[in-house]
Amino acid sequence: MVGFGYDIHRLAEGESLILGGVEIVSSFGTVAHSDGDVLLHALCDALLGAAGLGDIGEHFPDTDAAYKGISSIELLRRVIALVKKEGYQLINIDCTLVLEKPKILPYKPQMRERIAEACSLPLQRVSLKATTSEKLGFVGQGEGIEAYAVCQIEPILSQ
Ligand code: MG
């Protein structure tokens, strides 16, 4: 089975920018109820989607004070547990971040490692790509950041 996820967050000066569980040095960041990790939110939705388990908002509503400022790595761990409980194992992940700045390249290895660790996957099965939107639209103007993710899961075969 495959799953697809998408997320978007608004950017503002003075907010923190956490992507793939890694804090990025930046004067601006995502406006959010949680830590605003747009990449991990897209990934959580891809995982939930593959297992037919709805979306991240249903499981962790942003109206619930329990999730205020929660680490998205923790959300990802919980989603992985839900997918596993449903009888699936994760095969691979492929994600794309779309943002104008800052440059993500220096952070990519650490982001991949954090995701791989949270998902109990070898590094080669966690793909992370980043692109700008060529200064076009709201992402290009630096008003927001988007992420797309796909994943593959398969049923865990009982012994
Ligand atoms: Mg989000």
Give the tens place of pLDDT for each residue, 33-62. 888 999 999 999 999 999 999 999 999 988
Gap from CA of 105 to ligand 1 centroid (Å): 22
Confidence of residue 138 (pLDDT cuts 50, 70, 90): very high
pLDDT above 70: residue 159: no
Average pLDDT (119-130) is 97
Distance 75 CA to ligand 1 centre (A): 11
Q: Find the CATH number of the domain harbouring 104.
A: 3.30.1330.50
pLDDT of residue 53: 98
Distance of CA 135 from the midpoint of ligand 1 (Å) = 22
Domain assignment of residue 112, given as a range = 2-155
SS3 at position 60 = coil
How many angstroms is it from 56 CA to the middle of ligand 1?
A: 8
Ligand 1: centre distance to CA 84 (Å): 22
Q: What is the mean pLDDT of residues 122-146?
A: 95
How far is the centre of ligand 1, averaged over its atoms, from the C-alpha of 29 (Å)? 13
156 CA to centre of ligand 1 in angstroms: 29
Separation of alpha carbons 30 and 16, rounded Å: 6
Domain count, the chain: 1
Torsion sign across C-alpha atoms 133, 137, 139, 141:
positive
With pLDDT > 70 as the criterion, what percentage of the chain qualifies?
99
Question: Is the CB of residue 29 less than 8 Å from the CB of residue 36?
Answer: yes
**What is the per-residue pLDDT for 69?**
76
In angstroms, the Cα distances linking 56 to 31, 52, 62, 119 are 17, 12, 10, 16
How far apart are the CA of 41 and the centre of ligand 1, in A?
A: 5
How many angstroms does the Cα of residue 42 sit away from the middle of ligand 1?
7
Note the pLDDT tens digit of each residue in 64-97. 888 887 899 999 999 999 999 999 999 999 999 9
- Which pTM does this prediction carry? 0.95
Q: For 6-40, how does the pLDDT look when each residue is reduced to its tens digit (9 = 90+)?
A: 999 999 999 999 999 999 999 999 998 888 999 99
